[in-house]
Each structure stands twice: as structure tokens, then as C-alpha cells.
Amino acid sequence: MNLQTIPSEEFLQLSVHLPVVDVRSPGEFIQGHIPGAFNIPLFDNEERAKVGTTYVKIGKDPAIHLGQSIAEIKKEFYLERIRKVAPGNQILIHCWRGGLRSEKIAEFFTEFGYQVWVLEGGYKSYRGFIRRQFSQERPVFILGGYTGSGKTAILNEMAKLENQTIDLEALANHKGSIFGHLGQGNQPTTEQFENNLYAKWAVYDLKKPLWLEHESVSIGHVFLPDTFFRTMLQGILFLVDLPKTYRISRLVEEYSCFDNLTLQALIGHLGNYMGGNRAKQALQALQNRDFEQVASITLEYYDKLYDNSLINRPVRKIVKVPLPAGDVAENARIVLKFAADFRD
């Protein structure tokens, strides 16, 4: 049998070795898709809109007839695209709900000798599946600390030491603060962020600790899934304490390379939260190119903000980890040594 319908878990297992073909429109694909999927749209954005309008204004049967007419004209396009992505003649296909779009194009490909597996319930089913997986019980270790502590660098060093880590800020293309978008690419949609997050989550051993950086529910314009966020807050927080002088040096190194006008605008906006007087002092320091003073003033605000977050987003347990200096590799080893006492 060349055509089978399978549930999300089996579909994703097969996707490790077989190409995934998303037959939704390009607009739907951009909003969110299974990581690594190829978009071979049954209808482009305009065609999909026409079929939808026909369905609403005239009825189901005329919409189906219009869709069939469009697809008939595009057969060569479908075959040309599928030959490029599936040289082995085995493919995984899905649409939005596992309806007519995936059914018809799957039947079409089987006529040309392809072995096709169709995602039961479509992309909508996949979305529900991955969100449920974030509730899986697993040991979670959270790396926390004040702004400038080098948490992301420490996390990356842990990954080099073969620990299970997910860099949430890298997935979000944002470093979390009002300055966090500087030097970053465009943020993904929240939907795509969740899909990319699950792709990382799924490859790790559920019995071993997963290291995450302590984040709020949002990173820039991206939001963590509620199921994931609840699981994260059930973890153990390793709260690193790095002397402020090192934190200031790190922030100066990271942000002083950006032009003053950009920094000025961001500090001015930050004044709505940190107070106009302190913002004025930070702006004066910026004008004098005293980046250390700028960092020191802004850290006053962010340190208070982080203290409040520990109260408002309590975790299961907090372990304080003093760090003597800014050596990232050494700091990673220190944190891991503290964490060793909490491994099962």
C-alpha cells in the first residue's frame, strides 16, 4: 500500500529520515511549519483565497471544483518540486487538518510511484501534540542571575561539555532586555518558535537534566508555550552571583559597538520604567562615551527587575552559586559542580 495515514508521534519519528512536505499555502507556511519541512503548496496565497471566498459565498462543491481545476493545471509544478525534495520516492505529507488538500495531492503522488505517509489531523494535530509534550516530567536545571552575568555563554560552555541545553534566546533571536534585539536577526513567530523549541526538546533524554536559561514568559515579541513555562518553573534554579564589575565589563563589550543614536533611543524609552532622572544621567554618560557608567545605571533597574521576577515567578528550589570572576569556562565548571549534588 503506497498511502498511509499516521499520528503525529509516528510522523515525527519518520521525519528524521524522510522529507516532510507541507502542502499549505506559503503564507501558512511562513506563520509556522515543522522544522525542516519543504513547502510545496497545493494553492498559492491568492489561489487559496479564491477557493476560500468561493466556499463562503457560493458553497462547498463549487469551491472543491475550483480547487480541482487549479490543481489540474499545476500538476507539472508539483512533480518538478517533489522530484527535488524526495529522490528516494518516500515522502511525508500534511496540510492544515489532514483534509482534502493532503488527501488529494497524496493520491496524486502515489500514482507516480511515491510511498506517502499523511499526517493524521494535519499540522493542527502536530501543534497540539508538541504542546502536550512540554508537560512531560523531566529534570530541569535553570541557569539564572542578574543581567550581564554571562548566562548564555555559560550555557553554551555546558553544551560543549555534553550537557543537555536549549538556548531559548538563540531560538528567539533576542537577548531578553530592551537592548536584546541589537545585532540579532528577525524574530520568528511565536508559533514557529514553539516548533523549533520542540525540535530541540525532543532529541534529549528525558531522564537527564535539561539546562535552560531563566526567562520570563516572553523573549522580545516571542512567548514561551504555557506548558513549557510551567515545566521550567518546576525546575531547580542555579542563581549565579558574579561581581558587578565583571557584569559591567561584559555589557560594555557587548553593546558599546552600536551607534549612540540607537542606544540613546533605547535608554530614553527605558526612562519610562527606570525613572526620568536616572535615564537622564545614563544619557549624559552615553554622550560622554562613559559606557561603564551607562551600564552601571541601567543595571540598577534590571537588577531590581530580576529580584522581582524571583518573587513573582517562584521556582521549586534556588541554589546560589558565587562566581569569582568572568572566566566562562571556569564558571560553567563551578555551576556544574554545584548541580552534581542534585542529579538523581
Between 293 and 344, where is the model more confident? 293
- Based on the domain organization, do 92 and 215 belong to the same domain? no
DSSP conformation letters of 22-35: E-S-HHHHHH---T
**For the domain that residue 286 is a member of, what is the CATH number?**
3.40.50
- Based on the domain organization, do 52 and 198 belong to the same domain? no
Digit-coded pLDDT (tens) for 197-215 = 999 999 999 999 999 999 9
What values do phi and psi take at 221, rounded to 5?
-95, 5
Residue 286 · residue 260 · CB < 8 Å: yes
- Based on the domain organization, do 89 and 233 belong to the same domain? no
CA distance 211 to 139: 9
- Based on the domain organization, do 285 and 153 belong to the same domain? yes
Burial of 276 (0-12, 13-18, 19+ CB in 10 A): exposed
CA distance 288 to 297: 14
List, by residue number, the catalytic residues.
Answer: 95
The residue count for the chain: 344
What values do phi and psi take at 117, rounded to 5?
-115, 125
- Based on the domain organization, do 90 and 209 belong to the same domain? no
- Based on the domain organization, do 248 and 311 belong to the same domain? yes
Between 66 and 41, where is the model more confident? 41
From the list 60, 19, 59, the residue with the least C-alpha distance to 40 is: 19
Per-residue pLDDT, averaged over 132-142, amounts to 94
Residue 193 to residues 174, 187, 259, 281, Cα–Cα distance (Å): 12, 9, 29, 37
From the list 129, 131, 110, the residue with the least C-alpha distance to 119 is: 129
- Based on the domain organization, do 183 and 118 belong to the same domain? no
Residue 314 · residue 236 · CB < 8 Å: no
232 pLDDT exceeds 90?
Answer: yes
To the nearest whole percent, how much of the chain has pLDDT over 70? Answer: 99
pLDDT band at 56 (very low <50, low <70, confident <90, very high): confident
Three-state SS annotation for 253-288: HHHCCCCHHHHHHHHHHHHHHHCHHHHHHHHHHHHC
- Based on the domain organization, do 16 and 42 belong to the same domain? yes
33 Cβ contact list (under 8 Å, min separation 6): 22, 39, 123, 192, 195
Residue 42 · residue 82 · CB < 8 Å: no
**For the domain that residue 114 is a member of, what is the CATH number?**
3.40.250.10
**Domain span including residue 31:** 3-131
pLDDT band at 90 (very low <50, low <70, confident <90, very high): very high
Last residue of a domain, one of 131, 166, 197: 131
**Helix, strand or coil for residue 84?**
helix
CA distance 42 to 213: 40
Q: Find how far residue 40's CA is from the centre of its chain.
A: 23
Last residue of a domain, one of 103, 131, 159: 131
Q: Find how far residue 159's CA is from the centre of its chain.
A: 18
- Based on the domain organization, do 104 and 149 belong to the same domain? no
**Number of structural domains in the chain:** 2
Last residue of a domain, one of 131, 163, 194: 131
Between 219 and 59, where is the model more confident? 219
Start-to-end Cα distance in the chain:
46
309 Cβ contact list (under 8 Å, min separation 6): 214, 216
Report pLDDT for 215: 93
Residue 179 · residue 225 · CB < 8 Å: no
- Based on the domain organization, do 51 and 160 belong to the same domain? no
CA distance 228 to 207: 17
298 pLDDT exceeds 90?
Answer: yes
CA-CA-CA-CA dihedral for 116, 118, 123, 127, to nearest 10: -110
- pTM value is 0.92
- Based on the domain organization, do 105 and 165 belong to the same domain? no
- Based on the domain organization, do 185 and 308 belong to the same domain? yes
